[in-house]
Amino acid sequence: MHIQPKTRAETLHILFGSVPVWRLTQVEQALFSPFIRTFSDITTLPALWREPLHRAQVFISYRTTQVFWSQKKDTFKALLKLADGKQIETVLMKNARGAYTVCVSTQVGCAMACTFCATGKMGFSRNLSEDEIVDQVRHWIYFLADHPEIAARVSNVVYMGMGEPLANYDAVKQSLRTILKYTDIGPTHMTVSTVGLVPMLNRILDDSEWPAVRLAVSLHSADPQTRKEIMPTSYDNFPDTLAEWADRYFEKFDSKRRHLTFEYIMLSGVNDSEKHAEALIKFTRRIGKVRVNLIPYNYTGDVFHKSTQTDIDIFQQRLEYAGVDVTRRRTMGEDIAAACGQLAVQEEKTAIA
């Protein structure tokens, strides 16, 4: 039986271990070109090398793709089937800069079980490999090249799809480094969103290889009790722990432009009252450089209701009056279940051939 090496980097190393490093770089670089769709297309590579590469390694890590277009044609969701039959979703959405943001998944399912999130209800299946994460970005690079009528490029990547990125730390880190190395997307245009896994947040501070990408923490409440009720994995004293961590974070990534983002889903009667706004204001003052991103709740078939427009407006105004840097996330792709928290796929029922 033919055994696949685990990653492309491993394959390249096995096949071309003794060749100059720039040759490896040449292959890896080619993987991000919209014009190269098989190893045979890498014509700068000696023909003698293309064939073994073709035999030893799949060019891209999914078997089939299905793309859904939102009515407004500003959001696209792809369902990707992986080699083992598992399926994940990745989203492409138009951003304010007139370019596109790719939202990648990092796991099949998720173990965090946040009560408002569709992925959380699927349970956890497995981590994605570095290649499987990177290939979601490649998928959309090809998609845009194949649809010249869209005429735009990928400018941002957000790790906000299915899964908890920091629970798959190594693959996420490597994928960030690969995308940074082989595309023109810079670290301030990449965001990793996390529920706030404290041991992994600490690891970032001690890890010289962790790139200076932006971090977003899904806060959803500055009151530890409320947060725990809606996010069962939340630490008892999360706000205190996060505040201590943030001090060290700003020390390490010392930059005037550096800030943390807090994501905050507006759930009616749960976290949208004056009391919650006050707690959030107090907490953001304690943290310092922080931007709050208010997210309208997208329906996922559970007990929650979205806050009314008026409630969201009042909540936002309270923060603004208090000098908090606050933005509101646009909901996109709700008609194709591509909005935040709506990503969930069924297990493939049929056996793998």
Residue numbers annotated as active site: 89, 340
Q: Phi-psi category of 30—alpha, beta or left, where left has phi over 0 and alpha has psi -120 to 50?
A: alpha
- The 90-119 site mask, x for binding ligand SAH (CB under 6 A), equals ----------------------x-x-xx--
Query: Which two structure tokens, joined as six digits, stand for 26?
Result: 């040449």
| Cα–Cα distance, 197 to 203 (Å, whole number) | 10
Report, in Å, the least distance between residue 291 CB and ligand SAH. Answer: 13
Piece in contact with ligand SAH (CB under 6 A), picked from 22-30, 169-177, 240-248, 290-298: 290-298
- Which of residues 7, 136, 218, 234 is near ligand SAH by CB under 6 A? 218
Neighbours of 39 (CB within 10 A): 21
Give yes or no for a contact between 117 and 110, defined as CB atoms under 8 angstroms apart. yes
Report, in Å, the least distance between residue 146 CB and ligand SAH. Answer: 27
**Which residues pair with residue 93 across a beta bridge?**
75, 101
Q: Which 248-277 residues touch ligand SAH, going by CB under 6 A?
A: 263, 265
Regarding beta strands 290-296 and 325-328, do their DSSP bridges make them parallel or antiparallel, or are they unpaired?
Answer: parallel
177 Cβ neighbours under 8 A, 6+ residues apart: 209, 211
Number of residues that bind ligand SAH (CB under 6 A): 18
Is residue 297 a contact residue for ligand SAH (CB under 6 A)?
yes
- Residue at shortest CB range from ligand SAH: 341
Is residue 160 a contact residue for ligand SAH (CB under 6 A)?
yes
Of the pair 7, 226, the CB lying nearest ligand SAH is at: 226
Report, in Å, the least distance between residue 294 CB and ligand SAH. Answer: 10
Instruction: Read off the DSSP letter of residue 221.
Output: -
Query: Which two structure tokens, joined as six digits, stand for 16?
Result: 């071309």
AA identity, residue 243: A
Q: Which residues bind ligand SAH (CB under 6 A)?
A: 112, 114, 116-117, 160, 164, 193-195, 218, 263, 265, 295, 297-298, 300, 340-341
